Amino acid sequence: MNTTGWPEARRIARAAGDPLGRVDLALPDALGATLATPLVALSPLPAYDAAAMDGYAVAGTGPWRVTGRVLAGDPTPVDPLRPGTAVEIATGALVPVGADAVLPYERARCRSDRVHGEIETGRHIRRRGDDCPLGEQVLPAGSLVTPALLGLAASLGHDRLTVFRRPRVGVVVTGAELLSAGLPSPGRVRDAIGPLLPGLVHAAGGEIAWTVRVTDDKAALVEALRRPGADLTVVCGATSVGAADHLRAALEALTALIRVHGVACRPGHPQLLATMADGRAVIGLPGNPYAALVAGLTLLTPLLGQLAGRVERAPVTARLTGPVKVLDRDTRLVPVTRVGSGVVPVGHDRPGLLWGAAEAHALAVVPPGWPGGEVELLALPGAEAANPVPVPAVADPSRPGTAAPAGGTTRTGVRLPATAGAEV
């Protein structure tokens, strides 16, 4: 069986699809999707001359006679200001024509109907279009729709956004030994990959369309792969060459083209990528949970990003220190946590164990024969929010030699379990 190098496997996965069709969605529904057209300002920002402080809009030199009040949202603008006059004004309110500045309350002195103070011309007035002119292209197509982007779009006058349709993912869970609830028992284990996948799929821009469970049977797997309603099918397990592994035979029966037969990485070697006769992609994940997560980040995430129209980002790198077993021919994917400007392994990284990944901020990509130094980091969805970044206590972990041996702690106080350098 030919295996593909880890970087090449990622490139093949991203090239295995094209962005899906465009849809127009209301702002709340577009969260997590990708812009299919540039975000353009339908309104200047600000949309009108607005007060940036509570105080007095003044014209000419002071002292100024106060002639009225303007609050945010007042429907009717006040009359233009004449030199020597002012109106009391609230932040966000429409600045009257003729105003030279807004004098904040804390810098104003009031005597009878007169207000005194010193101003700078133009100060504390946000002029129409200062931040963004009408028609400006603010963000390009391919931008991820984040909460901040939704707020920006609303401020620019948008009610809806044109985005790429989210890829629909069908999930086939294989294995007669898997339990979907309750405690494991002799010969039976809990399915850990099924609960992992929805978050991974959603973070990459897709959504789960359906999930089916099949036993270790070729005919059942063929039938599951024929199921409609998905742009991409993920098969959990059955990717190796054992007596119960039928995915390759099922793909052959369906005349699918296998593009990736296996990947030269640890864990996650027995993963695959195929294209069905109708153009739909099939990704096979190994049955071990951590190996499946690695395979998901290797093949599934890049392909989903392409289908969702996301722009490929430049790799994020950091200096890796601590005990790491480097392989001669395979790339290793190591769970790491951030310490200062660098990362260190967290351990608990055997193929069947998600403990290390659950503690980690990212997976470090350690290439074959790695000499040390910077490595690429693969983000783990939600990890930064779930796992606080340790605060260095003594040393800078970005410098070689600051990590303790396996089973000890670094000088920053981060524990390094004994499995941190284990073969996987």
Can you give the pTM of this predicted structure? 0.82
d(CA 306, CA 325): 33
Query: What pLDDT digit, counting tens, does each position of 364-423 carry?
Result: 999 999 999 999 999 999 877 667 665 443 344 444 433 433 333 333 334 444 344 443
Sign of the torsion formed by the C-alpha atoms of 240, 241, 242 and 243: positive
SS3 per-residue string spanning 192-255: CHHHHHHHHHHHCCCEEEEEEEECCCHHHHHHHHCCCCCCEEEEECCCCCCCCCCHHHHHHHCC
* Topology (CATH) of 32-44+131-164: Molybdopterin biosynthesis moea protein, domain 2 (3.90.105)
10-residue stretch averages of pLDDT, the chain, 424 residues long = 91 94 96 96 95 95 92 83 94 94 94 90 94 96 95 97 97 88 90 93 95 90 94 90 81 94 95 94 95 97 96 93 93 95 94 94 96 95 72 42 38 40 38
Query: What pLDDT digit, counting tens, does each position of 94-142 carry?
Result: 999 999 999 999 999 998 889 999 999 999 999 999 999 999 999 999 9
Number of residues assigned to the chain: 424
Q: What is the DSSP string of 338-360?
A: EETTEEEE-----TT--HHHHH-
**pLDDT for position 60:** 94
Q: What CATH number should be reported for the domain whose range is 50-126?
A: 2.170.190.11
Under 8 Å between Cβ of 49 and 125: yes
**pLDDT for position 408:** 39
**pLDDT for position 258:** 94
**Amino acid letter, residue 198:** P
> 246-252 contacts: CB < 8 A, separation 24 or more?
246/174, 246/216, 246/217, 246/218, 246/221, 247/174, 247/221, 247/272, 247/284, 248/272, 249/218, 250/218, 250/221, 250/222, 250/225, 251/225, 251/282
- How far the first Cα of the chain sits from its last, in Å, is 20
Q: 17-35 burial, b if ≥16 CB within 10 A, otherwise e?
A: bebbeebebebeebebbbb
All CATH 3.90.105 domain ranges of the chain, comma separated, are 32-44+131-164
All CATH 2.170.190.11 domain ranges of the chain, comma separated, are 50-126
**pLDDT for position 62:** 86
All CATH 3.40.980.10 domain ranges of the chain, comma separated, are 4-20+166-307
Q: Which residue, 271, 345, 326, is CA-closest to 302?
A: 271
Q: Tokens 């970005």 appear where?
A: 398
CATH class in words for 4-20+166-307: alpha beta
Q: 383-394 burial, b if ≥16 CB within 10 A, otherwise e?
A: beeebeebebee
